[in-house]
Amino acid sequence: MMEARLGVITCDKCGLPMKERKPVLVMAEGDIMESDDELTFQGSCVRYACHLDCWDGVEEDARQDGR
């Protein structure tokens, strides 16, 4: 289980508040502290948070591969 504290309470996609008990998607920035068979990740800040329903995948810009 992971617990994170968000500095914003609104969805980065639709701008509406994210309420408790609603499924959300959070992207966190942090460091890998250990790498064996598993990675131990220590998060330092949240880069992006939105409702799970609002998530439509990676932004188009990020996956332009020149096709």
**Element (DSSP H or E) covering residue 26:** strand 24-35
Q: What tokens does 11 get?
A: 């969805």
3/44 Cα distance (integer angstroms): 12
Residues 19-48: x where in contact with Zn ion by CB under 5 A, - otherwise, as a string: ------------------------------
27/39 Cα distance (integer angstroms): 16
Decide whether 40 or 52 has the Cβ nearer to Zn ion.
52
- Residue 11 in the binding site for Zn ion (CB under 5 A): yes
Task: Out of 13, 24, 26, 43, name the contact with Zn ion by CB under 5 A.
Answer: 13
- The residues of the shown chain that bind Zn ion, judged by CB under 5 A, are 11, 13-14, 51, 54
